Structure 1
């Protein structure tokens, strides 16, 4: 009789935590929802605003009539927003796989605050500034690497192909 009571107690204590766990589908759904929210907070609306500001700034120096600058700004902003939305959908699974539920909950809780949104926006601004600062350095190094490549290998065929593609 005691043996049955021991087994019953073990069963109750071991089944409780198993029953309390979310089914894997619900857990995955939650993880994906959190990943989507994280991406929305860190790459969403503020990113679109920042992109528009950068495009406006870039076209501000162009010698174009105001209506053409406005049209190009609208078209480029729309194009970037569509590409960003598609990229967010594509990367959501990767974000869900990279971060734990607890990490995503903490990140979402943080980025959903005014300070979190401010930091996310500044991070985007700094990333854009870093890319802009890197461009001249990358171009210099790519040019140097291309020269070294052509010194080592025959680039004649590549030059002919490039010339044909421009015609």
Structure 2
């Protein structure tokens, strides 16, 4: 379960890059509900600048590292663990172009042309490129740090589920074990 959460978190993490206030003095207007062709064009440029090849490498590193610490995948034989991690990394990486295509109109609706131009101006500068490079290098470690709180979240979720549904103490402990991946299923040995 944690491994799949990490797959999704890692794929989305790159889209959470901060926007520098290149034109902070200008007060942006609200973007229209339907993006213009210009907004879509600018958004594609913004995505091209911020979603670099380093993103795919960072994503791959995140997924491979998570497979080594995830209780469910750790229970698998090493060759199966490697296969699943490589498969998840490959399939996630293969989906990045489609993900970015789907994200384009979302960002185009969220930002005005002036805001998109400011972001492009910033990320196309030496400072912007440096920030992107450093963000991509830090992404695997930052994701690991963020994922370190997932066990606490799962513990709280189990407790709240049992409060809501009236679990016995034994059922609560079983649910917690399952959520931690201690009762995971692994393919039968070959």
Give the TM interval when normalised to the shorter protein. 0.5 to 0.7
Does structure 1 residue 144 correspond to structure 2 residue 156? yes
Over aligned residue pairs, what C-alpha RMSD do you find? 3.6
- The structure with the largest alpha-carbon Rg is 1
Gaps of 5+ in 2: 1-34, 179-184, 186-190
Tell me the number of residue pairs that the alignment of Structure 1 and Structure 2 aligns.
133
Give 1:144 shift.
2.5
Q: TM-score, normalised by structure 1?
A: 0.60
- Give the Cα–Cα distance (whole angstroms) in 2 for the partners of residues 141 and 76 of structure 1: 23
Q: Show CA shifts across 1:47-83 (max 9, x none).
A: 1122234455567898847xx95x7676444312222
Is the 2:42–2:113 Cα contact (8 Å) retained in structure 1?
Answer: yes
Gaps of 5+ in 1: 1-26
- Give the Cα–Cα distance (whole angstroms) in 2 for the partners of residues 60 and 148 of structure 1: 29
- Give the Cα–Cα distance (whole angstroms) in 2 for the partners of residues 74 and 142 of structure 1: 26
Does structure 1 residue 117 correspond to structure 2 residue 129? yes
Does structure 1 residue 40 correspond to structure 2 residue 48? yes
- Give the Cα–Cα distance (whole angstroms) in 2 for the partners of residues 50 and 126 of structure 1: 8
SS of residue paired to 2:149: helix
> Which residue of 2 is the match for residue 7 of structure 1?
none
In proportion to residue count, which structure has more helix? 1
